[in-house]
Amino acid sequence: MDIPFFLRLGYRRYYLIPVSMSFEELRSILSLKFFSQNDQLKKILPSQLDDLSYRVDYSDKTVKYHIYLGPVRKEEIPKWINFSQNDHLDPKTRLEDYIKVKEEYPEVAVFIDIDIYRKGDEIPLNESFPFYEEAQTEIENMVMDFSKYIFSAKVEG
């Protein structure tokens, strides 16, 4: 590929962490773990929390992060997971195969979307593979750490 440099390098992954609890129970856990439990804030908001998402952008030196996390129900998963039927399924059985894929989705899960990227005027081509390897490891570690944090019994304030 005759590409002298990049303006953006990115690596993005989607994860589903299946849970054996109701959506409401998972929503309560994520609310406790990711949002302020301050009484003053609670007085401002309506009493019933129906859904939530944790959406943050961070940066670390030259690398930036888009992180999106939240509870999902089975029927919501196709909206969040961009599954390419054309690229991944046999054209002859595509519809039936996709129905089977959707049936295998968990009833309730934690959805995690992490995008790690670099932007620059001229990012050299030789930096792309090391970036990919580091980003892949970083995302895998973040997802494991998020999972441990979410499901640990300890809530710190």
Residue at 157 is within a domain: no
Its pTM stands at 0.88
Domain count, the chain: 1
Q: What pLDDT digit, counting tens, does each position of 99-119 carry? A: 899 999 999 999 999 999 999
Structure tokens at 119: 């932007």
Output the pLDDT for position 17.
97
- Is pLDDT at 60 greater than 60 in this prediction? yes
Residue at 30 is within a domain: yes
Output the pLDDT for position 88.
86
Q: Residue 41 burial by CB count (10 A; 0-12/13-18/19+): exposed, middle or buried?
A: exposed
Residue 103 is part of which domain span?
A: 5-151
Residue at 64 is within a domain: yes
Residue at 86 is within a domain: yes
Buried b (16+ CB within 10 A) or exposed e, 78-109: eeebeeeeeeebeeeeeeeeeeeeeeebeebb
Mean pLDDT score, 9-18: 96
